[in-house]
Amino acid sequence: MEKKPAKKPEPNSILKYSGLAFNMIAIIASISLGGKYLDKYMENSFPYFTLIGVLFSVFSAVYLSIRELLK
């Protein structure tokens, strides 16, 4: 008689989705603040790094969230 491997319990969906939300917030906030710091450091009149950082971070956060949901 063979023993079946124990199944891992599925995480609660509320925890899964709230974790995704916190990851998205952390990614967007950290990269945006980094861009703001670079703009201040380079003394740019227009916030180029902040704008690029926000766009990149939103696309990155969405991509990582979709990838995590499709696992």
Confidence (pLDDT) at 19: 87
State the pTM of this model: 0.74
Structure tokens given for 63: 């991509």
Residue that the structure tokens 């980094």 belong to: 34
The string of pLDDT tens digits covering residues 2-55 is 677 777 666 677 888 888 899 999 999 999 999 999 999 999 999 999 999 999
Question: Which of 52, 25, 24 minimizes the C-alpha distance to 38?
Answer: 52
Name the residue ranges covered by the structural domains of the chain. 28-69
